[in-house]
A and B are shown apart, each in its own frame.
Chain A
């Protein structure tokens, strides 16, 4: 079946460091890919998305490129801030059908000043 695999956390960085969180997926067809972020005590929020191969999603300095050849959607940010500390979830939506999302396990990011 379809699945999403993320790098395990926690990821601990100093402020202004470069961030990469790896995400790979297994899916039939042409899924859409997403990154959601969960701040402490809150629900998930959409961070960015890409709907087809080679698309780049970007938001708030974060970006991820849909790589069909490597079935990956790695999240990157050039310079993280303390306020970026959160749990990040990679997800896919199966092509066709309803809006069912399959999430990865989540990666906790802690940024220290």
Chain B
């Protein structure tokens, strides 16, 4: 299996631009998670889905952030408009079932100038 695939690996954009991060979970996994990692705040859970349905989005920082999972093999995290404080590494992770371990992608390094 190819594991959790995230794209792009790196993204550099200017403040005010729209940013879309993509994730393909491991085939057959029914839970998907978006995390953000920064030096100041560590690893924060933004949102997670179970069977394509958002379960908890309380970690989404503000309305500029949105996430979708239109089908079992694809999810997006969108920031519109982006701000410099959004600069971070964004990780997607998936798991097979409740209680199973998380498999993380390699992350997207986002820099907003």
Contact = CB atoms under 8 A, between A and B. Distances in A.
B interface, how many residues as a size bin? Answer: 20 to 34
Interface string B98-113: 1111101111000000
Interface residues of A, number: 22
Interface in A18-47: 32, 34, 36, 41-46
A101 B34 CA distance: 11
Contact of B104 (A34, A45, A49, A99): A45
Contacts of A101: 33, 45, 102
A100 B56 contact: yes
Contacts of B43: 44, 89, 103, 105-106
Interface of B: 4, 31, 33, 35, 42-43, 45, 48, 50, 55-56, 91, 93, 95, 97-102, 104-107
